C-alpha cells in the first residue's frame, strides 16, 4: 500500500475513533503508531515511538507551558484576580450594559495571568455571573459575555496555543506572544462596543445599575488590582526588551506571582499544593495530546502528503486570501468537534507547507489560526467555553440561552477577523519592533 494511501486510511480511522468519543490523545497515538507500522515496519514504529516523543517533550521552548500554567494557578489560588470584576464594576457600571462591559474587561485581564480560555471562563463565571443575574441582566448576555471574553485568553499573553504553534512552526515564541497582544485588545474593545450598542438600543437586556462611586473609590480599588498589570509588565516587558526568552519570562512570572502572594500574606501549604496540582494536571493533559500529535506529524511526513499539498497549491495558483478562507472554513468545521490543542497539532503538518509555498508570514498566520481555534470554542454543538460556563451556572441559565447570546459575539468576530486579515500589521507591528 502506498504511504499516502496509508495516511488517508489513518485519517479516516482517526475521525471514526473521535466520533466514538475516544480521547483525542489515545486516538492519535493509535492511528499514528499503526500508520508508521504499515509504512516502515514494526521496528521503525517502536523506534519512533521512543525517539519522537522524547524529542518533543525535551524541547526547551515547550517548558514555557508548565511555567505559564503555574503562574496562572498561583494568581488564581492566591486571590490576585478576585478584585478584577470589582474594579471593572466601579469604573464602568454607569455605561449601558456596564456590568457586562466590566466583565469583558476583567476577563481579558484575568486571561493575561491565566493563559487558558477554559480556566478564565470558569473563574469569571463564578465571580461575575451571579452579580449580573442579581442586577436583572438578561441571562443570555450575562453568560455569553463570559464565554466569549474567555477566548481572549488564547491571544493575550501568556498563550499556550502560541507556544505550541511556535514550537511546530519553528518561529520565535516571544514574537508570537507579542503578536497576539493587539488582536486580543482589539477583540476586547469590539466586544465592549457591541455590548454598549446592544444595551443602548435594548435597555431590557441590562437594567441601569444604581451605583454611585466617588473618584476616591475608583482610585482606591486600583490598589487591589495592581498585581495583574505588574505581572503583565514583568512577563511581556522581559520578552519585548530582549531580557529573557519566553521560557525564562514564564519562570520569572511564576516566581513574581508567588512572591506577590507571600507578600500579601496569602501563602499557605494548601495554596501551594493546589496551585502545583492544577499546573501539573493541565500540563499533563496538554503534553499527552501533543506527544501523540508529534507521532501523527511523523506519519504525515512519511506519507509524502506535505509536498503533494504544496504542489497542489502551486499548480492551482491559489492566492493568499483564498488559502486563508480555506483555513477559516477548515477551523470552523473542526472547532465543532475537537479541542484546541488537538486541532492545532492535527492541522499544522498539512497547512504549514501550504503557507510556505505562498511565502506567507507564519507569525501572522499563527494569529489567524489561534483566533479561529478560539472561535471554535464558542460554536455548537461542542462549544467548550459555553459548556464550562453552563457547568458553573447550573440550572440558572438554559444552554440554548447562552448559545443565543454567543451568536451576537460571533457576528463581532466576523468584523475582527476581517480586520486582522485585511491589516496584517495589527498582528505584526509589535513583533517587527523586536528585530
- State residue 117's pLDDT score: 72
SS3 268: coil
Which CA distances in Å does 147 have to 92, 250, 284, 389, 404? 20, 26, 24, 6, 12
Res. 414: pLDDT tops 90: yes
| Cell numbers at 416, concatenated | 475582527
**pLDDT tens column, 182-201:** 999 999 999 999 999 999 99
The span from the CA of 12 to the CA of 31, in Å, is 9
Question: If DSSP states are collapsed to H, E and C, what string results for 73-89?
Answer: HHHHHCCCCCCHHHHHH
Phi, psi angles (nearest 5°) of residue 44: -65, -40
DSSP per-residue codes, 91-158: HHTTSTTHHHHHHHHHHHHHHHHH--HHHHHHHHHHHHHHHHHHTT--HHHHHHHHHHHGGGGGTSSS
Take residue 13 and report the three cell numbers written for it.
Answer: 480511522
Tell me which range, 74-83, 206-215, 268-277, 311-320, is most confidently predicted by mean pLDDT: 268-277
What is the pLDDT, as a whole number, of residue 429?
Answer: 95
Tell me the average pLDDT across 151-169: 83
Nearest CA to 331 among 280, 377, 291, 363? Answer: 377
Note the pLDDT of residue 114: 66
Residue 337, pLDDT above cutoff 70? no
What pLDDT sits at residue 76? 78
DSSP state of 226: T
Supply the pLDDT for residue 349.
81
* Distances 178 to 83, 235, 423 between C-alpha atoms, Å: 26, 11, 16
pTM for this prediction? 0.82
The answer to whether the beta carbons of residues 179 and 364 sit under 8 Å apart is yes
- How far is residue 224's CA from residue 82's CA, in Å, rounded to a whole number? 9
Cα(191)–Cα(176) distance, rounded to whole angstroms? 23
Place of cell 498582528: 427
Looking at residue 236, its pLDDT comes to 80
Q: Which residues have a Cβ under 8 Å from the Cβ of 143 and sit 6 or more positions away?
A: 125, 129, 389, 390, 393, 397, 401, 402, 405
Nearest to 275 by CA among 11, 130, 74: 74
**Distance from first CA to last CA of the chain, Å, rounded?**
48
Amino acid at each position: 500500500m502506498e504511504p499516502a494511501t496509508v495516511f488517508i486510511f489513518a485519517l479516516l480511522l482517526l475521525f471514526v475513533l473521535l466520533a466514538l468519543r475516544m480521547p483525542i490523545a489515545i486516538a492519535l497515538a493509535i492511528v499514528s503508531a499503526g500508520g508508521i507500522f504499515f509504512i516502515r515496519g514494526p521496528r521503525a514504529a517502536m523506534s519512533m515511538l521512543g525517539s519522537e516523543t522524547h524529542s518533543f517533550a525535551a524541547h526547551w521552548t515547550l517548558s514555557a507551558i508548565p511555567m505559564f500554567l503555574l503562574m496562572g494557578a498561583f494568581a488564581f489560588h492566591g486571590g490576585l484576580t478576585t478584585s478584577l470584576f470589582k474594579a471593572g464594576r466601579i469604573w464602568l457600571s454607569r455605561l449601558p450594559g456596564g456590568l457586562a462591559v466590566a466583565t469583558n474587561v476583567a476577563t481579558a485581564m484575568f486571561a493575561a495571568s491565566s493563559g487558558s480560555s477554559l480556566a478564565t471562563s470558569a473563574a469569571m463565571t463564578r465571580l461575575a455571573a451571579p452579580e449580573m443575574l442579581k442586577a436583572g441582566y438578561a441571562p443570555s448576555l450575562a453568560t455569553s459575555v463570559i464565554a466569549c471574553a474567555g477566548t481572549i485568553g488564547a491571544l493575550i499573553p501568556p498563550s499556550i496555543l502560541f507556544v505550541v504553534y511556535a514550537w511546530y512552526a519553528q518561529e520565535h515564541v516571544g514574537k508570537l506572544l507579542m503578536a497576539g497582544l493587539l488582536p486580543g485588545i482589539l477583540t476586547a474593545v469590539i466586544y465592549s462596543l457591541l455590548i454598549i450598542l446592544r444595551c443602548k438600543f435594548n435597555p431590557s437586556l441590562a437594567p441601569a445599575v444604581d451605583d454611585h462611586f466617588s473618584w476616591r473609590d475608583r482610585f482606591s480599588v486600583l490598589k487591589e488590582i495592581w498585581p495583574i498589570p505588574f505581572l503583565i509588565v514583568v512577563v511581556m516587558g522581559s520578552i519585548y526588551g530582549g531580557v529573557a526568552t519566553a521560557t525564562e519570562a514564564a519562570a520569572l512570572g511564576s516566581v513574581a506571582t508567588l512572591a506577590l502572594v507571600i507578600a500579601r500574606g496569602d501563602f499557605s501549604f494548601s495554596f501551594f499544593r493546589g496551585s502545583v496540582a492544577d499546573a501539573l494536571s493541565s500540563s499533563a493533559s496538554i503534553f499527552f495530546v501533543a506527544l501523540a500529535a508529534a507521532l501523527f506529524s511523523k506519519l504525515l511526513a512519511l506519507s509524502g502528503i506535505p509536498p503533494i499539498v504544496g504542489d497542489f497549491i502551486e499548480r492551482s495558483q491559489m492566492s493568499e486570501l483564498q488559502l486563508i478562507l480555506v483555513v477559516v472554513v477548515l477551523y470552523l468545521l473542526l472547532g465543532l468537534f475537537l479541542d484546541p490543542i488537538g486541532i492545532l497539532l492535527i492541522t499544522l503538518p498539512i497547512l504549514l507547507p501550504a503557507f510556505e509555498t505562498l511565502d506567507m508570514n507564519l507569525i501572522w498566520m499563527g494569529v489567524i489560526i489561534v483566533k479561529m481555534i478560539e472561535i471554535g470554542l464558542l460554536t455548537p454543538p461542542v462549544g467548550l467555553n459555553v459548556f464550562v460556563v453552563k457547568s458553573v451556572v447550573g440550572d440558572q441559565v438554559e444552554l440554548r440561552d447562552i448559545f443565543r447570546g454567543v451568536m451576537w459575539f460571533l457576528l463581532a468576530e466576523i468584523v475582527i477577523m476581517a480586520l486582522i486579515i485585511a491589516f496584517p500589521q495589527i498582528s505584526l507591528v509589535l513583533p517587527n519592533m523586536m528585530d
